[in-house]
Structure 1
Amino acid sequence: MTEESTALTGREPPPVRDWLAHELDGTVFDPVLSELMSEGPLTRIRLPHGEGWAWLATRYEDVRTITNDPRFSRAEVVGRQVTRLAPHFKPRPGSLAFADQPDHNRLRRAVAGAFTVSAMKRLRPRAQRILDPLVEELVRQGPPADLIERVLEPFPLRVVSEVMGVPADDREQVHGWTRQIISTSGGAQAAERAKAGMYGWITEAIRARRGSAGEDVLSLLGAAVGRGEISEEEAVGLAGPLQIGGEAVTHNCGQMLFLLLTRPGLFRLLQSSRGTPESWDTALDELLRWIPHRTAVGLARVALQDVELHGLCIRAGDAVHVSYLAANRDPEVFPGPDLIDVGRDPNPHLSFGNGPHHCTGAVLARLQLELLLHTLLDRLPGLRLDVPAERVPWRRQTMIRGPQALPVTWG
């Protein structure tokens, strides 16, 4: 991409801004992203890895437009080193995240049955049975305790492994692989070793379940391969990101609890909202909108043809990033966007994405967050931090933000 390729008549393209994605403590909103939002609806960025620069859209309506527009392709990203946060980038063929229509719908259908609202309703009591012993053991041993280590990390691992169909004996190994894959530490070699281990395991699991009538994801994929609806390579590419998705619940819930434990007024408001399901849902939506759940931006798209936006021309071949975090703070859609309003309604946040690539496991993630918050607030009266807020350690060199540990006491 060249400077000459970006301008539409009479308008200079914005300068390319280096975004180094500094390590941030707590739930502070990224100051670089704030500046980019103030500079205009469409800016240009260069992230620490990859090549060249990319457009960045931060306004809510622009983010919705781009993520729904077939002129912006995820599939075209494969094989290119688009500027990005992750040091390693090697998408697997068949990955849902890098599929365009009609392949995207064909692939998604293979696992859709495991993530329907009705499937989540059936899962809910099983998930509660997974959570209860973790919290009971926490209560039995008494305070203080690290909620990340004791509950927020093992619970999503076990629930996602249940949905995926991972045998109990293999779950810790699979979890170790996912942690390394989403980390930006250790470099490309460590990530590739983890990917090789996890995807090799997934391949064998899918092969063993061809013809299966099971309802878990690996069985659904094995059956779909057996029927010739998707290839084995596609099935493996589908399963990997779904398995990794449990990590986000750990760190999103960690951020929510940190907010509640450092803002007593917010804690009281959330407690009062638990009396009615509608109020609780509204409050949870607001927490999802507000928390800065990731570092920088995620996966890019590539323009398939020239597209005009805000008097600028995104040329065919240009990389384009969108920021869901920025869209969730757009004052045109969310009045007082930096305030946490647990009664905000409507709240059309984009925390689970938008368009065809809306998170497949969104209903599952929401179910887990709700169970975690409900159960912990019920079973740990007087819950509070066991250290000053500034001493809570936060994750470093990672794409998903959240506390590394959450030391608490109660009673």
Structure 2
Amino acid sequence: MTTVETTLTGPPPEPDRDPVPAAQPPVRDWPACDLDGTAFDPVLAGFMREGPLTRIRLPHGEGWAWLATRYEDVRLITNDPRFGRAEVTRRQVTRMAPNFAPRPGSLAWADQPDHNRLRKAVAGAFTVSAAKRLRPRAQAVLDELVDGVLADGPPADLVERVLEPFPLTVVSEVMGVPAADRERVHAWTRQIISTSGGPEAAGRAKTGLYGWITATVRARAHSTDEDVYALLGRAVLRGEIAEEEAVGLAGPLQIGGEAVTHNCGQMLYLMLTRPELMERMRTRPAARGPVLDELLRHIPHRSSVGLARIAREDVEVAGRLIAAGEPVYVSYLAANRDPAVFPDPDRIDPDRDPNPHLAFGNGPHYCTGAVLARLQTELLVDTLLDRLPGLRLAVPPTEVRWRQKTMIRGPRTLPVTW
């Protein structure tokens, strides 16, 4: 009887057990790659093929971090208060930058409500109306540079003659950098975004830049001007932000001009090496805006990834648990190539519509200077194409030299003739 019952009913049930957690994906090393041209990072492309979430280890810092590459997940993480930046400043999270010295007041590391309080202090300098007021002056600066290029005749290096000095001058005027100080400020910002020279060189550049910013904020406290250093000086005087917060706020804004130089360098390189794209830009000037958006989506703005976030609580993303305390990166470059959002994502499609690219970020940390960057990009492309007829490379594409050991990608030189 007992034997028959056992055969019919099977073995007794096992006691309840917690489900076995999903195996963690392997940790992948992501070395600093020196890539020429506008090629997409093959390491990042490999991560995207593996799945929406990867565990990565970068050249500096400690441990590993999650990397999100899918558009939907990138938007979730960058707009979800369960992921914060402030905690990163107290840890040595694996990272690309050799020198890690975050400062109080930096918008990049601020969570709410501090983020809105700090951003308010400088918001007036980066509005659409402020950009409209700036446009005639920016156009005049650009015209003077192009006048010099035309006077000297071809060939010319667009990076040296236009793409570096124009954003440097515009950002310096928005920030309130005196003309006599602009070259040394530019030297500091250029070293800070470089990975050459190691942490010592980057550290010296940061010391120089932030010391200069401190003195400038103090000196501008009673100014009635509307540049960023005057706005910050008055905000400190009114007690709305601390002096160290004003300094931390100004640094990344000052460095931001570097991105315009190198992004526009990549975009112009693509036009100069793709005749059909250049023809489109020349014959349909009124429709250049959507093409610029497509180029912003397509170009690899940076090497690797930017700044990490820390999960404040357990969060499920793409079917995996990101545990409280674990660091996570997002890749805007990968999100901009997500085929679920951008069909045929590796192709430059001038007629792509819609084009909800994330070239300027997403969420509360959306680029503060996006309006200013877009203004400069439009002016540069329009002015160069309209004033330099027949613009073309003066060397074969393989002879264009590209920046090495840098966090922001772009051509070092762009020799052209016309």
Q: What band does the TM-score fall into relative to the shorter chain? A: over 0.9
Residue of structure 2 in register with 1:3 after alignment: none
Once the two structures are TM-superposed, the CA of residue 272 in structure 1 deviates from its matched residue by 2.7
Alpha-carbon shift at residue 9 of structure 1 (Å) = 4.2
TM-score by length of structure 1 reads 0.96
Residues 170-181 of structure 1 aligned to structure 2 (within 5 Å): 170-181=181-192
Q: After the TM superposition, which residues 260-339 of structure 1 pair with which residues of structure 2 at under 5 Å, given as runs?
A: 260-274=271-285, 276=286, 279-339=287-347
CA shift digits 1:264-320 (9 cap, x unpaired): 01111122331x2xx222111101000001001010001111111222111111110
**CA distance, structure 2, for counterparts of residue 210 and residue 25 of structure 1:** 45
Question: Cα offset for 1:363?
Answer: 0.4
Aligned 8 A contact 2:56 2:67 in 1:
yes
Name the CA distance, whole Å, in 2 between partners of 1:56 and 1:229: 36
**Amino-acid identity (%):** 74
Give the Cα–Cα distance (whole angstroms) in 2 for the partners of residues 194 and 137 of structure 1: 31
Offset at 1:79? 2.0
Deviation at 1:193, TM superposition (A): 1.1
Q: Structure 1 residues 91 and 172 mapped into 2: Cα distance closer, same or farther (>3 Å)?
A: same
Alignment correspondent of 1:388: 396
CA displacement 1:80-99 (0-9 Å, x = unmatched): 11111111111011111000
C-alpha distance in structure 1 between counterparts of 2:407 and 2:27, whole Å: 22
Is the Cα–Cα contact under 8 Å of residues 270 and 342 in structure 1 kept in the other structure? no
Decide which structure has the larger Cα Rg and report it. 2
Give CA deviations for 1:186-242 in whole Å, capped at 9, x if unaligned.
111111111111111111111011133211000000011111100000000000100
Partner of 1:321, secondary structure, is strand
Distance 1:8 1:292 in 2: 41
Partner of 1:203: 214
Structure 2 CA distance for partners of 1:375 and 1:315, relative to 1, 3 Å: same
Q: Distance in 1 between matches of 2:412 and 2:44?
A: 23
> Aligned match of 2:160 in 149, 167, 179?
149
Q: Deviations over 1:153-203 (max 9, x none)?
A: 000000000000111111111101100111000111111111111111111
Residues 367-401 of structure 1 deviation map (CA, whole Å, 9 limit, x = unaligned): 00110000001111111111110111100000000
Question: Of residues 115, 119, 127 in structure 2, which corresponds to 1:104?
Answer: 115
Q: Which runs of 5+ in 2 are unaligned?
A: 1-17
**Paired residue for 2:8?**
none
Paired with 1:8 and 1:308, the residues of 2 have a C-alpha distance of: 16
2:266 maps to what in 1?
A: 255
Q: Partner of 2:236 in structure 1?
A: 225
Calculate the TM-score normalised by the size of structure 2: 0.94
Partner of 1:64: 75
Q: Detail structure 1 runs of 4+ shifted over 6 Å in the superposition.
A: none
Query: Partners in 1 of 2:343 and 2:291 — Cα distance?
Result: 16
Correspondent of 1:50 among 45, 50, 61: 61
Is structure 2 residue 136 aligned with structure 1 residue 125? Answer: yes
| Superimposed CA distance per residue, residues 20-66 of structure 1 (whole angstroms, 9 cap, x where no aligned partner) | 13211100000111110011011111111110000000000100000
Give the AA of the match of 2:269.
Answer: F
Per-residue CA deviation, residues 93-152 of structure 1 (Å, 9 max, x unaligned), is 111100000000000000000000000000000000111110000000001111000000
Q: C-alpha distance in 2, partners of 1:232/1:212?
A: 16
Query: CA–CA distance in 2 between the matches of 1:355 and 1:223?
Result: 28
CA distance, structure 2, for counterparts of residue 60 and residue 102 of structure 1:
26
Aligned to 1:400: 408
How far apart, CA to CA, are the structure 2 residues paired with 1:124 and 1:342? 25
Offset at residue 69 of structure 1 (A): 0.7
Partner Cα distance (1:124, 1:407) in 2: 27
For these two proteins, the number of residue pairs brought into alignment is 401
Contact kept? 1:157, 1:175, Cα under 8 Å: yes
Unaligned runs of 5+ in 1: 1-6
